[in-house]
Amino acid sequence: MENVGRIRNLALVIGAMKCGTTSLFQYLSGHPQIAPCAKKEPNFFACPREWGLGNEQYESYFDFDPSAHKYALEASTDYAKLPYVDYIFDRFKKFSRYRYKFIYLIRNPIHRIQSHLRHAENTKSEILSLDAKRKTFSLDTGISQAAIDFCRYADHIEAYKRHFGDE
């Protein structure tokens, strides 16, 4: 907990699931000026349980040394699950001491949806439990509204621009 409050620059790799956020996170984590998050996808700003643990717990996920690191880095796809998590913007603003840098990854929407449905089929559940009644998630049975909404990349980027500006 000794590092809590030292982080000023927070870089977040966001984007829809299955767009390469984990790979980019791993590549960037190798940079000496980056303090990567020890917890894969902490989803601090989106997950009620994580949010409830508080900022001290969140910052404890980073081995941040201000003399060596310029950015703390995390990757959480939940920050791109709009409109289902639109409350994240209020949470980001609550911690205004952070200077946020968002890296938003996208993928061909059809390929992303196919991957999303394979994931749902393998786990037998829809992301965010939005379509719990489905018995199968193959393309033959249709595409959930959530799978479509997660591919509304331009809408997501516009929402971030409304809250943070064009940078």
What is the pLDDT at residue 113?
A: 85
Please name the amino acid found at residue 53: L
Average pLDDT estimate for 71-94: 95
71-75/99-105 β-pairing: unpaired
Calpha distance 106→153 (Å, rounded): 7
- Per-residue pLDDT tens digits for 20-57: 999 999 999 999 999 999 998 999 999 999 999 999 99
What is the pLDDT at residue 1?
A: 46
Ranges of beta strands (E only) in the chain are: 9-15, 34-36, 71-75, 99-105
- Per-residue pLDDT tens digits for 108-138: 998 888 887 777 777 766 655 555 555 666 6
* Burial per residue of 72-100, b for 16 or more beta-carbon CB atoms within 10 angstroms, e otherwise: bbbbbbbbbbbeebeebbeebeeeeebeb
In terms of pLDDT, which residue wins out, 167 or 101? 101
